[in-house]
Amino acid sequence: MRSGDLVAMVGPSGCGKSTILKLVAGLLRPTEGNVFVAGREVGAERIGIGMAFQNPTLLPWLSIRHNIMLPLKIVKPYADTYRRDKDTVFRERAEALLARVGLAGFGDRKPWELSGGMLQRANLCRALIHAPKLLMLDEPFGALDQFTREELWSVLQDLYLETRPTVFLVTHDLREAAFLASRILVMSARPGRVVEDRVVDFARPRTLETTFTDAFGGLTNELRRLIFQARHEQAGAARTAAQETAA
């Protein structure tokens, strides 16, 4: 992956998308081989990755603002001045980011007072507040309805274009991948392999109009076909294996 890329990874469930994400984030250790981020092996040095899961996992005892400011408390250099800046600079930073995702004025609310879509917006803020060089998103919009999802695509794209972090997006929504990514990796399941590596060069900023173009439709259809093939081969392999055992 190149720095500043937005790479989406799609594939049938169980192909190891989330595992790769966790390996890169240093949450899992590889059983074999090594993982390198920015030229350094993962685990050797923490680099403060921004992360958002499908489940918002905001801490229910903190207000939305304090939830969002959490990375600033952990990641250096922010952590060093957290005590001094938490009510001034950092607070404004959190409010500004909240306003960007359409949550202005909700900073003092508690997570249980917000809807699923709002929580996911806040979750995005938390992943971005410390301006991470690497952003890991694991089906961040998976639990949302289509309209909210499409709205948040644009929000995410805006934020991405502003700071240009390297983004690693795991998703099973092909339109989401095609809309957001500058590069799409298609994976097959068991064995988990990258079967297709494709550059997406629609002009940015992309809008919902982009998704109605023939090129966009063609891309998503092609991706769908690739995944279908990957699943088909997998099912075929499983059948052969079953026949062999039966014989």
Chain contacts with another protein (rule: CB under 8 A): 22, 25-27, 46-51, 53, 55, 57, 59-61, 70-71, 73-75, 110-112, 115-116, 119, 126, 130, 136, 143
Q: Name the residue nearer to another protein (CB basis): 25 or 180.
A: 25
The token pair that represents 49 in the structure block: 């990755």
Q: Name the residue nearer to another protein (CB basis): 109 or 204.
A: 109
Q: Name the residue nearer to another protein (CB basis): 119 or 189.
A: 119
Alpha-helical regions (H) of the chain = 17-25, 64-68, 70-74, 82-85, 89-100, 116-128, 146-163, 174-180, 214-246
Q: What angle do CA 225, 172, 169 make, to 5 degrees?
A: 120
The token pair that represents 98 in the structure block: 């909240």
The token pair that represents 158 in the structure block: 């805006």
Residue whose token pair is 């909210």: 148
Q: Name the residue nearer to another protein (CB basis): 57 or 234.
A: 57
Q: Name the residue nearer to another protein (CB basis): 11 or 71.
A: 71
Cα–Cα distance, 221 to 207 (Å, whole number): 19
**Shortest Cβ 141–another protein spacing (Å):** 14
**Shortest Cβ 241–another protein spacing (Å):** 33
Cα–Cα distance, 216 to 118 (Å, whole number): 28
Q: Name the residue nearer to another protein (CB basis): 79 or 195.
A: 79
**Shortest Cβ 71–another protein spacing (Å):** 5
Cα–Cα distance, 202 to 217 (Å, whole number): 12
Cα–Cα distance, 72 to 212 (Å, whole number): 40
